[in-house]
């Protein structure tokens, strides 16, 4: 049986769903994710774009770098996704899922930006950011 995953922004205007379990989920400690989420790091869930669809009104998009766009709700501001150009995957914010407790992060990215008091996810694989702007 395929579980249907759902999620939304805080106000409920932007809703989404996807059918297959996400390929992976990870912490991102880069400074761009920190600003985009307003938190000490982002937790992003990667899934195939072909599995993913908006069911409410779509989000607004912001070009956050020469290679990526970030989506957010234009009404309540919830950060919803990060998408690299020409990538078959979309990375959605774990906190926007209706059942975030069902996913556990399995890696760290952008560790050069990790705040020194962040001590979650010990022992997971770590990687530095490849692109710098
Ligand atoms: Zn909203
Ligand atoms: Zn990041």
Q: How far apart, in whole angstroms, are the C-alpha atoms of residue 56 and residue 54?
A: 6
* CA distance to 43, 63, 69, per residue, from 66 (Å): 22, 7, 9
- Average pLDDT rounded to a whole number, residues 104-126: 96
**Of the ligands numbered here, which is closest to the C-alpha atom of 108?**
2
Q: Decide: helix, strand or coil at residue 25.
A: strand
Residue 102 · residue 6 · CB < 8 Å: no
Judged by its nearest atom, the ligand closest to the C-alpha of residue 127 is 2
110 within 8 A of 33, measured Cβ to Cβ: yes
* Residues whose beta carbons lie less than 5 angstroms from ion ligand 1: 9, 11, 13, 73, 75-76
What are phi and psi for residue 101, nearest 5 degrees?
Answer: -70, -15
Ligand nearest to the CA of 70: 2
CA 116 to centroid of ligand 2, rounded, Å: 16
130 touches 80 (CB < 8 A) = no
Q: Give me the architecture of the 5-116 domain, per CATH.
A: Beta Complex (2.170)
pLDDT at 18: 96
- Least confident piece of the model among 4-13, 18-27, 83-92: 18-27
Judged by its nearest atom, the ligand closest to the C-alpha of residue 7 is: 1
At 3 the pLDDT is 75
Ligand 2 center from residue 22 Cα (angstroms): 18
- Ligand 2 center to residue 50 CA distance, Å? 22
Tell me which residue of 104, 105, 109, 103 sits closest to 131, measured CA to CA.
Answer: 109
Q: What is the pLDDT of residues 48-104, one digit of tens each?
A: 999 999 998 999 999 999 999 999 999 999 999 999 999 999 999 999 999 999 999
Those residues whose C-beta lies under 8 Å from the C-beta of residue 8, and which sit 6 or more positions away, are 14, 15, 16, 56, 96, 98
What is the tens place of the pLDDT at every residue in 120-129?
Answer: 999 999 999 9
CA of 15 to the centre of ligand 2 (A): 23
């Amino acid at each position: 049986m395929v579980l249907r995953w759902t999620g939304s922004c805080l106000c409920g205007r932007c809703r989404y769903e996807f059918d297959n379990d996400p390929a992976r989920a990870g912490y991102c400690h880069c400074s761009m994710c920190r600003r985009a989420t307003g938190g000490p790091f982002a937790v992003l869930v990667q899934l195939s774009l072909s599995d993913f669809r908006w069911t409410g009104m779509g989000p607004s998009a912001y070009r956050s770098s020469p290679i990526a766009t970030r989506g957010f709700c234009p009404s309540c501001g919830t950060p919803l996704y990060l998408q690299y150009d020409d990538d078959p995957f979309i990375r959605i914010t774990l906190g926007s899922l209706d059942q975030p407790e069902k996913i556990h992060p399995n890696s760290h990215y952008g560790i050069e930006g990790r705040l020194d008091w962040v001590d979650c996810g010990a022992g997971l694989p770590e990687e530095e950011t490849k692109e710098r702007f």
